[in-house]
Structure 1
Amino acid sequence: MSKVIRIGTRDSELALWQAKTVQNALEKTGHKTELVPVKSTGDLNLDQPLYEMGITGIFTKTLDVAMIKGEVDIAVHSMKDVPTALPKGIVEGAVMKRASNKDILIHKGIEFLDEKEGTIATGSLRRKAQWLNKYPQHKVVDLRGNVNTRMQKLNDNDWNGAIFAAAGLERIEIKPENYIDLNWMIPAPAQGAMLIVAMEEDEYCRKALTMLNHQESEICVHIEREFLRVLEGGCTAPIGGLARIENSKVHFKGALFSLDGQKKIEVEKVLPLEETKNMGRDCARKILENGGKELMSSIKSVLNS
């Protein structure tokens, strides 16, 4: 059997780049494909911070619906945007080789880092909390939109800088020279990774996608996402998590922050590759036992109020 695989994607420049990368990889393995761009709710409403919109998977939901209705066969996502629990009937097809997991600061001069006053823009609770943890005297303002829109908003406002994922800017080649790596900032679980999902019953597409899976990336992001799932409990929160493989060992570092960045509960663990089955879960439980349960409860009450 041979069919045209319809690839669902958001219609931003970055999302289309990701979808075309998957399209090229599938066509190299002899499959026929077609791109089907879709606008997501998260792209349509840029006036509200994401956490205020109260929707888990706001960037993926529209594509999930399109798949379930049979309008597309597979969907390509930035994996950090994907809820840890996929909708019924939808399964992971492949994790592409991970790009940079770093957060970077695009700035208009870094002198402000040594000063009491400074304004940074980001739409991420995780980035905001970590910035305020390191620079409690600074102000953090909300920033929404696709990467091009956010870059333009930075230029149009008198902010000192804005935080971006390095991978997104590198993929569409708009990473400017005026940036610094935020090596101290723990990235979002699965940051820099691309996930392709398919319908569970679609054996043809699932088999096609197995050829695109990058095992090392898959192992790391699954540990990070398990950490997120156990810690988060379905609530948006300032959580960072990063797993990396070095010399057949997995090094994991994760943290939960209060919304204002004043509290930080951290965990680090190193395990042999073959012993990492419950690594993410165990690291999350350690944080919950060390005050994370109470901190998560206070975060939920603030965000739900």
Structure 2
Amino acid sequence: MMSKIIRIGTRDSELALWQAHTVEKKLNDLGYKTEIVAVKSQGDLLLDKPLYELGITGIFTKTLDIAMLNGQVDIAVHSMKDVPTALPIGIVQAAVLERANSVDILVHKGDLDFLNSEGTIATGSLRRQAQWLNKYPTHKTVDIRGNINTRLKKLEESDWKGAIFAAAGLERINIKPENYINLSWMVPAPAQGAMVVVAMEKDHFCREALSKLNHKETEICTHIEREFLKTLEGGCSAPIGALARPNGTSIDFEGVLYSLDGKEKFESKKSCTFESYKNFGKDCAEEILKNGAAALMESIRCDLKK
């Protein structure tokens, strides 16, 4: 049965291909045959619009979902933070790989004096924008789109002071510049730094193969983070960060929701055990919704529709 060739679907950016090749190597090491199929995504083609204006969560994963449902590819590899919390009918999460660095970093130009005065920072993420403005209220943020290489080039050619990136992406393709600082105070996107592989629900061959790549601890932590996100947003993008970290036999969790301008903040900091994680993310989200976050989410939905 090992004779079936597993077709791995991926976007054609450098980072996406790196991720696909990583999964390919792991499957090959287990004796499986594979083939990589690169597909252009709408999110890569529409570079002039901010992601949240496009009105769909999962713009980067949609094209690959369709390729899978059409039988052009068997599995797809994604940065887990790009994957909507609800997968299309017929597609299931088959493996979560061990998480890499989950930190956000600021790539800057020259000195950091501007941190104490004024400056413009680029980010395409509502979460990063809100947290930056919360900490640096005198700064401005501008939208930036495109793959990592495109964004680094845009930063170089601009008069911005810096741009915010996920450390993992730059580290994976080995282009992390020297002039950066870790933003360890910034709560990352749910599942940041983790890669997920999805398969067709009925494809038992691929699901069994991928189950051998699953990293249980990362699966549990990302489950908590994504459940927190799902409970809060209900399909609407908002400035939400979440991070669950193993700490001995327990898991420490931090989840945040900000207003778009960064002035309002709701947070949940709690711990659970590896046995009691199932509805933990949902409970944390429901608690802050009761404490006033529900009204904020409603106003964010209205703002984003304008």
| Pairwise TM-score range, normalised by the shorter structure | over 0.9
The alignment-based identity, stated in percent, is 68
Code of the residue aligned with 1:120 in structure 2: it is I
List runs of 5+ in structure 2 lacking aligned partners.
Answer: none
Q: Secondary structure at the match of 1:224?
A: helix
1:87-98 map, 5 Å: 87-98=88-99
TM-score scaled by structure 1?
0.99
| Aligned match of 1:120 | 121
TM-score scaled by structure 2?
0.99
| Aligned match of 1:35 | 36
| Aligned match of 2:132 | 131
| Aligned match of 2:113 | 111
Code of the residue aligned with 1:139 in structure 2: it is K
TM-fit CA distance, 1:278: 1.0
| Aligned match of 1:258 | 259
Alpha-carbon distance in 1 for matches of 2:57, 2:283: 24
TM-fit CA distance, 1:16: 0.2
Q: Secondary structure at the match of 1:197?
A: strand
TM-fit CA distance, 1:37: 0.3
Code of the residue aligned with 1:87 in structure 2: it is P
| Aligned match of 2:237 | 236
TM-fit CA distance, 1:272: 2.1
1:129-278 map, 5 Å: 129-278=130-279
Alpha-carbon distance in 2 for matches of 1:298, 1:260: 12
Q: Does 1:64 align with 2:42?
A: no
| Aligned match of 2:102 | 101
The alignment covers a number of residue pairs equal to 304
Code of the residue aligned with 1:299 in structure 2: it is I
Q: Secondary structure at the match of 1:296?
A: helix
Q: Secondary structure at the match of 2:275?
A: helix
| Cα shift readout 1:48-81 (whole Å, capped 9, x = no counterpart) | 0000010120000000000000000000000000
TM-fit CA distance, 1:40: 0.4
Q: Secondary structure at the match of 1:17?
A: helix
| Cα shift readout 1:94-138 (whole Å, capped 9, x = no counterpart) | 0001000000000012110011x1000000000000000000110
| Cα shift readout 1:226-279 (whole Å, capped 9, x = no counterpart) | 000000111000000000001111000001000010000011001222122211
Q: Does 1:47 align with 2:48?
A: yes
Alpha-carbon distance in 2 for matches of 1:71, 1:272: 41
Alpha-carbon distance in 1 for matches of 2:57, 2:127: 15
Alpha-carbon distance in 1 for matches of 2:226, 2:99: 14
TM-fit CA distance, 1:176: 0.7
Moved more, 161-170 or 275-284: 275-284
Alpha-carbon distance in 2 for matches of 1:38, 1:55: 19
Alpha-carbon distance in 1 for matches of 2:43, 2:276: 38
Code of the residue aligned with 1:45 in structure 2: it is L
Q: Secondary structure at the match of 1:212?
A: coil
For the aligned residue pairs, the C-alpha RMSD in angstroms reads 0.5
Alpha-carbon distance in 1 for matches of 2:87, 2:180: 35
Code of the residue aligned with 2:126 in structure 1: it is L
Alpha-carbon distance in 1 for matches of 2:273, 2:30: 33
Alpha-carbon distance in 2 for matches of 1:93, 1:242: 21
| Aligned match of 2:296 | 295
Alpha-carbon distance in 2 for matches of 1:277, 1:42: 32
Code of the residue aligned with 1:96 in structure 2: it is L
